[in-house]
């Protein structure tokens, strides 16, 4: 069964939220895991793409932004997509930045939900928490 982790970030800025996503990608890379980031928009995907190049000094995270489902599984261990699922079965971690639970979440070993202080996003996070809890998923909460 998929394990769900909620990461509660300080602050309410979009950049703070995306930096948490970058750290999670880096940790997964160190464990040789494959990550799919479910972004809310092309703009958010672009911001995350830029941060993955610069936010963790001395660390390179091979990644790719995908705008549509690729024909074959990509070589990069981190994919950033906009409300779509990746091709293939090799994905360990889903980082969900979208306001709703993606219908494909259960294909992953783990799902990371990032919560920040933004009022609207925090309420959406509560809705996702209730969704998972009501279906019997194991939930973990981490302060970051």
The string of pLDDT tens digits covering residues 57-109 is 777 889 999 877 666 667 889 999 987 777 777 689 999 999 999 999 999 99
Contact between 53 and 65 under an 8 Å Cβ cutoff? The reply is no
3-143 CATH pick, 3.10.300.10, 3.30.379.10, 3.40.50.10110, 3.40.50.10470: 3.40.50.10110
| pTM score, whole prediction | 0.93
The string of pLDDT tens digits covering residues 106-139 is 999 999 999 999 999 999 999 999 999 999 999 9
4 has pLDDT over 80: yes
Boundaries of every domain in the chain: 3-143
Q: In angstroms, rounded to a whole number, what is the distance separating the alpha carbons of residues 17 and 84? A: 20
Rounded to the nearest integer, the mean pLDDT of the chain is 91
């Amino acid at each position: 069964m998929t394990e769900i982790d909620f990461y509660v970030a300080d602050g309410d800025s979009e950049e703070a939220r995306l930096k948490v996503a970058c750290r999670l990608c880096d940790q997964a890379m160190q464990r040789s895991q494959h990550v799919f980031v479910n972004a809310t928009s092309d703009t958010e995907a672009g911001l995350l793409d830029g941060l993955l190049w610069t936010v963790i000094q001395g660390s390179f995270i091979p990644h790719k932004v995908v705008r549509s489902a690729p024909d074959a599984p990509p070589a990069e261990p981190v994919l950033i997509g906009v409300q779509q699922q990746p091709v293939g079965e090799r994905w360990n971690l889903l980082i969900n930045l979208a306001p709703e639970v993606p219908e494909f979440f259960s294909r992953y070993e783990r799902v990371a939900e990032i919560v920040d202080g933004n009022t609207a996003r925090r309420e959406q996070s509560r809705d996702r928490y209730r969704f998972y809890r009501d279906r019997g998923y194991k939930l973990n909460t981490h302060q970051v």
